[in-house]
Amino acid sequence: MASSKSFGSAPAGADTGTSSGGVGVSNYVEEKAKCAAFLLNFTSNLDEPALGPKYVRMMQEVANRERTSIAISLDDLQIYENDDPTFVARIVRNARRYISLFSDAVDENLPPPTRDISDFQDVLDVLRITRAQEMAQQSQPTDSDVDGSHATARSAVHVFPPALMRRFEVHLIPGVKLKAVPIREVKAAKVGALVRVKGMVTRVSTVKPLLTVATYTCEACAYEVYQEVKARQFNPLTQCPSERCQTNRAQGRLIMQTKASKFDKYQEVKFQELPDQVPMGHIPRSLTVYLRGELTRTCEPGALVTICGVFLPLPYSPQRQMQMGLVTETYLEATDVVNHKKRYSAMESSEAMESAVLRLQEGSENVYEVLSQSLAPEIYGHEDVKKALLLLLIGGVTKRMDEGMRLRGDLNVLLMGDPGVAKSQLLKHIAIVAPRGVYTTGKGSSGVGLTAAVVRDATTKEMTLEGGALVLADMGVCCIDEFDKMEEGDRTAIHEVMEQQTVSIAKAGITTTLNARTSVLAAANPIYGRYNKKLSASQNINLPNALLSRFDLLFLLLDVANYEKDEALARHVTYVHRYCRNPEMKFEPVRPEVLRYFIAIAKQYQPSIPEHLCGYIVEAYVTLRQQDVNEHARERQQQQSRQQHYGNGGANDAQTAMTARQLLSILRLSQALARLRFSTEVIHQDVDEAIRLVYVSKASLSEQDDANGIGTNGKTGTMNRGGRSSSDATSKIFRLLLEFATDRNLKVLAMSDVEPIVLRKGFTAQQLNACIDFYQQLEVMQLSCNGTRLTLI
């Protein structure tokens, strides 16, 4: 197909062949010949010789209607054009013009199809076939037109524009030498050039048709006129330019034929700088990106992407241009989009990732411990908190009932504690690890900023919805720091999100429901900044019960003075500051991309609760519920005592009550643990660990009689009363074993019965082993050689 054809009238905004980038009239043919030679002759070392050149295969697929885009790598061009090293540089400086040259080269060298494409024919094919038949008939001379000049003239004006019949797009892929730059570094010197920028997508418009070639038909003579549209605005043709209308002076009116016109998919994306690219005290800059064709729907709000494209000016309308003078807006016409953090379901497998996951699954005795300790290894301690965050990333199974009821599977976790216990660092790390993680702060977020806002679209002037942080984190994690600093009205806006996982909007004539299937990870400080030991836990937290009950786990992290813990923490911090990495561990921490892929595989499993475990879960929940009632009664007595001694006001109801939502939390945690094992069924150990985490998080909030308050054991990360030492835990486990043996009148205990009881009380397996070792040395108890029986002496 010829690359330069006359049709109807000159297209609006047609290029004359000259450009400031070095491609002028003098070397236009030479540059296009280079493009064609590259497409026809380039072969990669990875290609099999029998398959032929790389881009010839692509063009054949285009002809066979198997491909709609041709991605040209500038690295391939750099390898091919060794004799002209500036060729690639000229393409980078004047990218849009060379895209046109490559398109013309493909048009001229497109091979005929090698298969039957009649099933893929559309209106344009029918139009082309019909016009070819008419031109063949008109090319035969008649008695009144012996030389056929009239038919030749009519044949010349009925040639289609290349853009109308083109069934492909040409995308330029920059080479590895073209580094990604921040948006604020894309300046006027880059206009017309190919650039690569990295940032976050904040807004995505709907995909709409964009007119690229307009087709008109004359009412008087049925003459067809084609107008190629290259700008955002164009003036439609109104008068027929055909020779018949001009001879008859009919001034036939042109009617636009939408069916025969060509439309491309078009989408606008708002692109913003990453937080680490914004200088201190500056506002993040944004850039408008235009996506066309196959590049549409390749990114979503909240996605971290690298976009390659041509940086171009956007002229205003004539009325607006008179006000703005010489100033213009700019935009990026995308040629390539790379998602850095895809959804779990959209992740592509690779041999390297699969082998890494296989080694992790087979080579590690306890994947649960390895993965949890790989979360923010630079942060000291908080082992149980990290385990909870790992399960938050994996999540449980979302269930839908036949009646339409939906039971969420995502977990919500709240970290409450003193300043300086690494709450914010944990939140930021989770936002990085999660494929779709959004980090925000409570004081800097409003209700609409978290849910959705109604804004006016700059292009269509219609009222549209712009998703907030919770909507942007759909199918991901939303990390909210300074949760206690939020206004009460803004905080109630997330109640629906945390349970129903939807955002209901009824504003400006828009009534809809948006998906917000996200896990909420929040961090907050006590009401007075630091935990006040004279007040109860509920008075220190000062959050409504309706909100607290929506969190599956709530940990209280306090900064308690402890010599051994403080010394270990100081050594850890100084090591990180000196070497900029975490201290040596017993195992190599898992890289975030491997962890992300591991979680993606785990999320494919849908574990269920077997029938024989249902009774055990019910019994455990009832036991926790009864313990909760007893603790609340004791707490009310202590509050009344404080009222007499400190004058703290009347005792209010406790706000950490065990509800049926905690039963669902146990089920979700158990399913997450089963997913961690790549299993389709929950086992007894999964339920025990889930109950232990619930008990540990609940025990961290219980009222303390010790003057030291509530602390976290530096070695195990377990929430202990008064920062209790390991000897305190050993004594408590021993008393627990004595009570168990006395109640059942036993001397020999089975370890299969002992371990669940100890774990359900919030202790770890390491603490149980330490207790057995300690009392074996005192010859009070003895463990069998195979480790299955424990005898009390």
The reported pLDDT for the residue numbered 719 is 38
**Average pLDDT of the residues of the chain:** 79
pLDDT in tens, 186-236: 998 999 999 999 988 888 888 889 999 998 988 888 888 888 888 777 888
Q: Are residues 754 and 742 in the same domain?
A: yes
The reported pLDDT for the residue numbered 156 is 38
Q: Cα(92)–Cα(98) distance, rounded to whole angstroms? A: 9
pLDDT in tens, 109-130: 989 988 887 777 777 777 777 7
Q: Are residues 84 and 42 in the same domain?
A: yes
Cβ pair 59, 39 in contact under 8 A: yes
Closest CA to 242 of 7, 435, 531: 7
Contacts of 678 (CB under 8 A, 6+ apart): 361, 601, 602, 605
Domain encompassing residue 781? 725-792
Q: Are residues 165 and 191 in the same domain?
A: no
Q: Are residues 144 and 246 in the same domain?
A: no
Q: Are residues 659 and 706 in the same domain?
A: yes
- Name the region of 717 (left: φ>0; alpha: ψ -120 to 50; beta: rest): left
Q: Are residues 147 and 50 in the same domain?
A: yes
Look at residue 454 and tell me if it is in a domain: no
Which range is most confident: 145-159, 608-622, 626-640?
A: 608-622
Rounded mean pLDDT, 559-583: 82
The reported pLDDT for the residue numbered 645 is 56
Q: Write the secondary structure of 654-684 as one string of H (helix), E (strand) and C (coil).
A: CCCCCCHHHHHHHHHHHHHHHHHCCCCECCH
Which one is predicted more confidently, 658 or 394? 394
The reported pLDDT for the residue numbered 668 is 92
How many domains, in total, are found in the chain? Answer: 4
Q: Which of 318-327, 705-714, 781-790 has the lowest mean pLDDT?
A: 705-714
Q: Which of 165-179, 547-561, 604-618 has the lowest mean pLDDT?
A: 547-561
Q: For position 325, which CATH number holds?
A: 2.40.50.140
Q: Are residues 266 and 330 in the same domain?
A: yes
Q: Are residues 283 and 367 in the same domain?
A: no
Q: Cα(521)–Cα(481) distance, rounded to whole angstroms? A: 8
pLDDT in tens, 450-488: 877 777 776 667 777 777 788 877 788 889 888 888 887
The reported pLDDT for the residue numbered 720 is 40
Contacts of 316 (CB under 8 A, 6+ apart): 324, 328, 329
Look at residue 503 and tell me if it is in a domain: no
pLDDT in tens, 93-107: 999 999 999 999 999
pLDDT in tens, 480-535: 888 888 887 777 778 888 888 888 888 777 777 777 888 899 988 888 777 777 77
pLDDT in tens, 252-261: 888 998 888 8
Is the per-residue pLDDT at 563 higher than 60? yes
pLDDT in tens, 128-178: 777 777 666 766 555 444 444 444 333 433 467 888 888 899 999 998 888
The reported pLDDT for the residue numbered 148 is 44
Look at residue 673 and tell me if it is in a domain: yes
pTM for the full model?
0.66
Q: For position 41, which CATH number holds?
A: 3.30.1640.10
Q: Of the residues 109, 142, 174, which one is the last residue of a structural domain?
A: 174
Q: Are residues 43 and 26 in the same domain?
A: yes
Which one is predicted more confidently, 352 or 141? 352
